[in-house]
Amino acid sequence: MPAHRFVCGAALAVLLLAVLPAAAPAAEAKHDPRRTPVVEAVQTSSPAVVNITSTSVVEQRSMPGLFGQPGLGQFLNDMYGLPTRRYKRESLGSGVIIDGARGLVLTNAHVISGASEITVRLLDGRELKAELLGADPDFDLAVLQIKSAKSLPQAAMGDSSNIYIGETVIAIGNPFGYTHTVTTGVVSALKRSVRSGDQVLTDFIQTDAAINPGNSGGPLINILGQVIGVTTAIQAQAEGIGFAIPVNKAKRVINELLTKGSVSPVWLGLAGQDVDQRIANYFGLSKVHGMLVTEVHQPSPASAAGVQPGDLLLELDKVEILDKDHYLNLLRNFTDKQEISATFQRGDARFTKKLQVEALGKNRVLALVWRRWGLRPAPNSSRGGVALAAVAQGSAAAQLGLLPGDVLLQIGNNRVTNADAFTDAFLRHRMQSVLMIRILRGGRVYYARLAL
């Protein structure tokens, strides 16, 4: 082949190289169109999301059922006194590391309820033991600490006070045991209320991001990779409706759990009664709802705001008040020094006040118990209940015949096993006019009706 043909071929190759576009430099790889803000947020946050396995020990009779009939099995168990057997039961949930240096994990309280052993599994495959530092069932939040924590990632905590309805959110968790599952959606609504048993939980973020069993306790993040909520519930009756606890509320609960060991009950300093049709007609209400204020304690957040007996409380933090029990349930959603709004009606005029809820310390609770019920509980529990140290003369308790040394076993539907349970029962029932109580005296148990 002639030599000039090789030269022409080489020249053509050089010409082609000059014309064809050069390969993209390494720096341009960062502009991969697939790396959306959602992808980057997931990659940033996923290492801090953990799978939580809680193990509890369950006792069960050796014959729980027979021929598919649990009742028949129970009958035979009772008749023949069959021994119980113990076995371990595991439940799965999610959590997020909020402090890598201390190994702190935020999750739902129900995820670790009753657990005797807690294990967390990280994205990198590490499985580590964790212990419970504090939990509050009313807020459904718990803080765990990973033992022997080293080189742990942590999530960035966001701000739930400026969430946009319609903004993109991402849920990361372990639904049905599928670890680090990512689902996306938008914020559907804010300040939603959800009823759970006899309790009303408020201030939820509603989202259509898929949340399934096992997601509980995992983070809801924005496209900046910041935690703005803790996924906690799904609406079983409908698809595409899930709920998350706002991260600002979680921060307040975490602070109280870590500094005090528990979340202090709060109050506004109000006592009241249910609204009947007569009261509703007086205030011109279209339906029966609200709580009529009968007493304003001094000093208290309500007295500082100028609330007066005779005012009608209609809304608390934009949630319509149904009755006094509903009001007390709603108070359990707030933490010390949190500012909330309350809507009242005085005569024909409606007005809204900003109030800062206040913690009810132990001494103040005991003072209210003495004033309202005429009881002073002994500091230590006794025989499975709470013994009475004193009974106020002329009080409802004295008129019933209660005496020092009697042991309270139950107040309303609340079992009173210790001082904390007694306080909780008082806070739940302090506005009741009649209470059923169960008392232990001289080795015998009595039921009595306490009229207040």
Residues identified as active-site: 110, 140, 216
Please say whether the dihedral angle defined by the alpha carbons of residues 99, 100, 104 and 107, taken in this order, is positive or negative.
positive
- Spatial neighbors of 420 by CB under 8 A, at least 6 apart, are none
Spatial separation of the C-alpha atoms in residues 297 and 57, rounded to whole Å: 46
Question: Both ends of the chain: CA-CA distance in Å?
Answer: 117
Contact 221, 201 (CB under 8 A): no
Report the SS3 class of residue 205.
Answer: strand
Spatial separation of the C-alpha atoms in residues 348 and 284, rounded to whole Å: 8
Q: How far is CA 250 from CA 5, 203, 247, 334, 361, in A?
A: 78, 11, 5, 11, 21
Instruction: Determine phi and psi for 161, rounding to 5 degrees.
Output: -85, -15
| Lookup: tokens for 373 | 């019920």
CA angle in degrees (0–180, nearest 5) for 187-192-198: 145
| Lookup: tokens for 75 | 């009958």
Strand 385-391 versus strand 104-107 pairing type: unpaired
Spatial separation of the C-alpha atoms in residues 315 and 300, rounded to whole Å: 19
DSSP state of 65: -
Largest CA distance in the chain: 127
